[in-house]
A = this chain, B = another copy of it.
Amino acid sequence: MELVTGGAGFIGSHLVDSLVSKGLKVRVLDNFSSGRQEFLEHHDGTNNVEIVIADLLDLDAVKSAMKGIETVHHLAANPDIRLGTEITNTDLQQGTIATYNVLEAMRHNNVKRISFASSSAIYGEASVMPTPETYGPVLPISLYGASKLASEALISSWCGTFGGEAWINRFANIVGPRGTHGVIFDFIHKLKKDPNRLEVLGNGLQEKSYMSAEDCVRAMVHLIDNAEEKVSLYNLGTGDTCSVRRIAEIVVEESGLDNVSIEYTGGDRGWAGDVPKTSLDVEYLFSTNFKPKMQSEDAIRYTVKELIKEIGL
C-alpha cells in the first residue's frame, strides 16, 4: 500500500492516478484544505483508493494512517507561496512541522521509504542558471521555500539517523488540469470577473521553468524505480522557461475574448518573496533516461485549455 499525503490535491491526485495505473493500492491522507473529493471520484468503487481525512498536524492520525505502508509520497503543503507574506506560521506548520510528523509516524511504524515534493523555491535568487542540484549555498527568499528546505533537511537527517531511503524532488512550477492556485488559475479567475482587463503582478518579465503535472508525477515514479542513492535528490523540470507575459498572452488567446487589455502592476517581482527568474538544470534527471512529454509553453497552453473548461469563462 502506498500513502499519498495531499493526495486529493492538484499534483497529489495526478500521482494517485499514476500509482493506480501501475497496479498499486493507494491510501490518500488529506485535510481537504485545498484538496477536492472530485479530483479522486473516478476511483470511487474501484477498491484501489482509500481516503483518510485528517490533518498532518494530528500526529496520532498520521501514525494510524501509516500502518501497512510501503512508500510515503509526501506532497501535502500550503500551496499558496504568497500567503507567507501575510501569515508567517502557515509554512512552518503545514510544511516543516507536518513533515516532521510524517517522519515521526514512519519511524513508529517502521516505514522506510519516502518520496518528497520539494521545490525550486529553495534556490531563492540563485546566481547560477540553469541551477543544478549541486548549487550552494541555497538561500530561499520565501517562507514557502524555507519550509521546503527545512523538510529536505529533516528527511535527510531521518535517513542518516534512523535509516531509510528518500527521493527528494525539487519541482519546477507544475501546471495542469485540477490546478487550484498559481498564475494560470489566477489569470482565468481574473478574466472571469472582468473580461476586458487582465492585471499582471509585476512587469511580466518574471520567467520560470514549468512542467506538466503528468510529466511531474511520471518523473517521481520513474525516479523511485531508477535512482538508488540513500537520498536521491533531483530537479524536476523541462529544461526551458516561459515568461509571465507570454502566459498572459496565451490565456487571452485561449479565452476567445477579443478586447482584453493586459495591464502590469510593475516592478521586477509579483510580491515579496517572488523569485523573478528561475531556471532549473535538469540534466541529472535526463541522465536517468527520463524525458518530459511537454515543454514549458506546451504545458502552459494545455493547462490553460483544461482550466478554462474546469473554471468556465
Cα A122 to Cα B152 in complex, Å, equals: 11
Stretch at the interface among A5-13, A156-164, A194-202: A156-164
Do the beta carbons of B137 and A157 come within 8 Å of each other? Answer: no
Which residue from B104, B134, B149, B231 sits with its C-beta under 8 Å from A149? B149
Cα A133 to Cα B137 in complex, Å, equals: 6
> What chain B residues lie within 8 Å of A231 (beta carbons)?
139
> What chain B residues lie within 8 Å of A25 (beta carbons)?
none
User: Does any Cβ of B come within 8 Å of A79's Cβ?
Assistant: no
- Report if A124-B160 is in contact (Cβ < 8 Å); known contacts: A146-B153, A150-B153, A231-B139: yes
User: Does any Cβ of B come within 8 Å of A100's Cβ?
Assistant: yes
Cα A141 to Cα B84 in complex, Å, equals: 28
Which partner residue on chain B sits nearest A275 by CB separation?
Answer: B160
User: Does any Cβ of B come within 8 Å of A32's Cβ?
Assistant: no
Cα A161 to Cα B89 in complex, Å, equals: 14
Cα A62 to Cα B125 in complex, Å, equals: 30
> What chain B residues lie within 8 Å of A217 (beta carbons)?
none
> What chain B residues lie within 8 Å of A161 (beta carbons)?
84-85, 141-143, 272-273
Do the beta carbons of A146 and B141 come within 8 Å of each other? Answer: no
Do the beta carbons of B153 and A145 come within 8 Å of each other? Answer: yes
Convert A75-103 into 0s and 1s, putting 1 for each residue whose CB lies closer than 8 angstroms to a CB of B.
00000000011001100100011001000
Secondary structure of the A contact surface, majority rule: helix
> What chain B residues lie within 8 Å of A158 (beta carbons)?
143
Do the beta carbons of A97 and B104 come within 8 Å of each other? Answer: no
Convert A267-287 into 0s and 1s, putting 1 for each residue whose CB lies closer than 8 angstroms to a CB of B.
000001100000000000000
> What chain B residues lie within 8 Å of A152 (beta carbons)?
137, 139
User: Does any Cβ of B come within 8 Å of A233's Cβ?
Assistant: yes
Do the beta carbons of A137 and B134 come within 8 Å of each other? Answer: yes
Convert A97-137 into 0s and 1s, putting 1 for each residue whose CB lies closer than 8 angstroms to a CB of B.
10010001001000000000000001011000000011111
Which partner residue on chain B sits nearest A150 by CB separation?
Answer: B150
The 17 listed contacts between A and B (C-beta, < 8 Å) are A84-B157, A85-B161, A88-B100, A89-B104, A92-B97, A92-B100, A124-B160, A125-B160, A134-B136, A137-B152, A140-B156, A140-B157, A141-B156, A141-B159, A142-B160, A145-B157, A150-B154
Known: A89-B104, A137-B233, A150-B154. 20 other contacts (CB 8 A): A88-B100, A89-B100, A92-B96, A92-B97, A122-B153, A124-B157, A124-B160, A134-B135, A134-B137, A136-B137, A140-B156, A140-B160, A141-B157, A143-B154, A143-B161, A146-B154, A149-B150, A149-B153, A150-B150, A150-B153
